[in-house]
A = this chain, B = another copy of it.
């Protein structure tokens, strides 16, 4: 709340010192310090309803679709038959909303550590929390690490929709987390984790990629445009042990109209893996 001054919310963070994105606030809809983090929900003048966790913008009504569609359809469409999907995090419901759209998905399990985010989203962010209404979904409020320790060989795709690597999400970027993901996957399963941007912290993206490579034989990085994130984009680590699966190649070509997608299409999937020269060099 101390980030709101003269009616503007400014996203200053130790993760990107010297720069800040600001949004003009119409109304503070909700504010709570939960057991895990500071939860702030704003109505903004230009970007609609906005979820802020520990001072960092997680999603706005204006552009959340590109993030949710990318983190969901990049791994789901890289898999030939993603029937069982696990979501770790994603307390706003947006990823569940997208996973439920995929025609081959039969069962969605979601593990979110902070029940307060789920409740606040249900009340103030219904355009995302609608995901919790899916009859395909089993929602568990508990720690993702602990949950996966008890579930091996269970999922075709695991999506980790975390906040940035400070606060409750810090463990979701470590090598031991990738080891857990691997155990929880079925053979030929695919993981997709939020992984920062090449523009803001290339070193962090690289170290996360290297941690992932210790447990997966086929590791790629892809990105999506999300204007309200610092640098205007967000990246994902997408990985599998199946070396013959070209993750850049979408396995199903959807009728986009029928799935109500605004960002994702097959060409977007392929181009999401294309990196500028400076980033390509860093991944070699």
Contact = CB atoms under 8 A, between A and B. Distances in A.
A264 B276 CA distance: 6
Interface size range on A against B: 35 or more
Contacts of A21: 19-22
B23 A18 contact: yes
A8 interface: yes
Contacts of A194: none
Chain A contact residues, majority secondary structure: mixed
A276 B18 contact: no
A34 interface: no
Contact of A63 (B8, B199, B229): B199
A44 B17 CA distance: 11
A227 B280 CA distance: 18
A264 B277 CA distance: 6
A274 to B, nearest CB: 4
Contacts of A44: 18
Contact of A265 (B8, B23, B24, B276): B276
Nearest to A229: B232
Interface string A220-264: 000001010111110000000000000000000000100001111
A46 B18 contact: yes
A278 B265 contact: no
Interface in A15-31: 16-24
Given A227-B232, A263-B276, A277-B263, A22 B24 contact: no
Given A18-B24, A199-B225, A270-B274, 11 more contacts: A19-B22, A19-B24, A21-B22, A63-B199, A225-B225, A225-B232, A227-B230, A263-B277, A263-B278, A264-B277, A268-B277
Interface of A: 8, 10, 16-24, 44-47, 63, 66, 199-200, 225, 227, 229-233, 256, 261-265, 267-268, 270-271, 274-278, 280
3 nearest A-B pairs in the assembled complex, by CB-CB distance: A232-B232, A18-B46, A271-B271
28 contacts: A17-B24, A18-B45, A19-B22, A19-B23, A19-B24, A19-B46, A19-B47, A20-B22, A22-B22, A63-B199, A200-B227, A225-B231, A225-B233, A227-B230, A227-B231, A229-B232, A232-B232, A233-B233, A256-B277, A261-B277, A262-B277, A265-B280, A267-B274, A268-B276, A268-B277, A270-B274, A271-B271, A271-B274
